[in-house]
Chain A
Amino acid sequence: MAHEDVREVIAAQFADAGVAGRMHAIDLASGREVGVGADAAVLMASVFKVPLVLALYRAADAGLVDPAEQITLTPGTRTAGPTGIGAMADPVTMSLRDLAHLAVSVSDNAAADALADRLGLDAVAAAVAAAGMAATRVVEVCRDVAARTVASLGTADPKQLARLLTDPVALSRLSTLDVAVSNRTTPRDCTVLLAGIWDDALASAGSCAAVRRLLSLQVWPHRLASGFPFDDVRVAGKTGTLPTVRNEIGVVEYPDGGRYAIAVFTRSASTALMLPRADAVIGTVARTAVEHLRRPRR
């Protein structure tokens, strides 16, 4: 399959799943790459938690924070969310590095915002800059997104919100889906970030290993990992989700040592919350790209 062909195949896979998709994949050894809209601005959603935890470990390397420092999060003041501490009932005390674990493994919004509050968004911006993510801006945390959603839709009632979040007309004026004013990146910026983490370039070797471990503990199997259903292939990644938005960035490692950084960002035409095809196409295009990159060059 020639280079142009694989891009056409990937574009057709996105279209067939009913999504507008952007992606970039790179072989970390050779630098060979595949991209479809690789430099387009896209909504990060929870993918912003990757530069966030990187900022924690960079701060630890610089001696600015102790990753074992304990933080207590109390209900009512911490950010709510559907997973982790964000969904719990009682006060929780844990270390900064365990907050990072929950922010990545189950996309815990409370844990992520607590980290961001402790570090400051300037530290995240510094990590983004150090990674060379020139088109990436992290300007808000999970609680800002939730508040802007409520303000944009004009209600905080959960039942009304659930309905509005699947209403195409309401979604068309939802400001949190406006890439110009939200946390944004490009697929290429994200593979650059992953490459820096896998090459120990963005923090100390121990810190980069810690971030890689967190990404390998991410629990959702329905997106990137669905494209690699093999016991001997390791997938480490971070998802990002908003209404109609399904993303995942990660690294796929083959037993022969092949390592591939992949970033896939999609927006679905359908506004249904459950769209297994839109989740799975992330794995499908990643697999297509990786198989292309693994084929010997002629």
Chain B
Amino acid sequence: MDLVQHLRYFVAVAEELHFGRAASRLHMSQPPLSQRIQRLERELGARLFDRSPREVTLTEAGRLLLPQARDVLARADAILDLASRIDSSEAAVLRAGLPPELEGTTVAALLGDFRARRPRTALDLRESATAGQQDDLARRRLDVGLLHLPFDPADLVIGPVVHRPLGVLVAAGGPLDLPDELLLSDLSGHDLVTFARTAAPARFDEILDTCARHGYHPPTVHQADGRSFTVGLVLAGTAVAFDPGTVPQQADVVWRPLAGQPLAERMAVVWPRERHHPEVGAFARTVVRVLGAAAAPPAGPVPHTRPASEFLATPYGAADGS
């Protein structure tokens, strides 16, 4: 029995909970799929699914095995990728997109790390904002991208996500130039300089919503494209800007951390779901090595679904264990 292939069948049926749908996803017909699942169950000596005419559900054994099966498949895919890379001359160039805000030292570190570990693959880095990278990935003009969350992940695989907590750039010697951490509410009365909302409306709104939630309502939000314009407005003393604090500042602008890390830059390595470049995994590991040193911010509050969500009842009593 080809165990990996049988595990693929198992995971497909487990995710669909429907033999017909799983079969169509696997591009096969239903009877052989049912036979293979039965064969796997015999081989493992455990029943994986309860089948009734109306529905298919996972047994306890199936539920326990599912994460392990996914793990085996991920590892098997990595081996297949590796084999195809050894075999393939197309892999000679990897075209990767990076967000424009990424500082020069980080770009250099990414290039250096990748070159050291993958000397045979040329890394072709291109600077492009979220929308442009998504478009290029869809049109196969990019093999892999580094995108700010949130974005629409249709047809993309989201790889590792790196977090960089954001602090604040403030004018040196100004009222906010305190030696300690700042609260977002401390910024009251100061304007905010940020990226243009049209570049990433969802991310812009998340940042402003977080500010409002923590009591910071900027009187004016300046939308600036360039870093020097941003620093100029901060220098003038009326505005502040959010920044990961990874670049040394000029003398009259200082970086201050935010208490509790309410804001973070979250960037995900993404690649096309279908027929992806064999080196995307190597690029993802490089990104994690170079950018992933900072700890992820603490998990946010547990969200509550409201009735208008319609989907997935999480009855009040169930969440309370009553």
Contact = CB atoms under 8 A, between A and B. Distances in A.
B202 A169 contact: no
Contacts, number: 150
Contacts of B268: 168-169
B312 A165 contact: yes
Interface in A268-289: 268-274, 277
A185 interface: no
Interface in B281-322: 299, 302-315, 318-319
B159 to A, nearest CB: 9
Contacts of A148: 15-17
A222 B307 CA distance: 13
B300 to A, nearest CB: 8
Contact of A270 (B156, B206, B302, B318): B206
Interface in A33-48: 45-46
**Tier of interface size on chain A:** 35 or more
A272 B158 contact: no
A161 B312 contact: yes
A180 B67 contact: no
Interface residues of B, number: 51
A145 interface: yes
Given A163-B299, A169-B268, A267 B152 contact: yes
B158 to A, nearest CB: 4
Given A87-B315, A151-B15, A161-B314, A82 B303 contact: no
Contacts of A87: 307, 313, 315
Interface string A232-260: 00000001111110000000000000000
Interface centre among B15, B67, B198, B299, by most chain A C-beta atoms within 10 angstroms, is: B15
A166 B312 CA distance: 13
Given A45-B311, A168-B150, A172-B153, A162 B18 contact: no
B58 interface: yes
A149 interface: yes
Given A140-B18, A144-B17, A109 B313 contact: yes
Contacts of A277: 205
Given A20-B152, A162-B304, A222-B308, A172 B158 contact: yes
Contacts of B221: none
Nearest to B159: A169
A80 to B, nearest CB: 4
Nearest to B58: A151
A81 interface: yes
A16 interface: yes
12 contacts: A16-B198, A144-B18, A147-B57, A151-B14, A151-B15, A151-B58, A166-B303, A169-B158, A169-B268, A243-B311, A244-B152, A269-B203
Given A80-B313, A240-B310, 20 more contacts: A15-B198, A20-B152, A45-B310, A81-B313, A82-B306, A82-B307, A82-B309, A82-B310, A82-B315, A109-B310, A109-B313, A147-B57, A151-B15, A162-B302, A166-B303, A220-B308, A222-B308, A239-B308, A241-B308, A268-B150
Interface of A: 15-20, 45-46, 80-83, 86-87, 106-107, 109, 117, 139-140, 143-149, 151-152, 154, 158-159, 161-163, 165-166, 168-169, 171-172, 175, 180-181, 220, 222, 239-244, 267-274, 277
Question: Which 7 A-B pairs give the minimum distances between C-beta atoms?
Answer: A18-B202, A80-B313, A269-B202, A158-B314, A241-B310, A172-B158, A18-B201
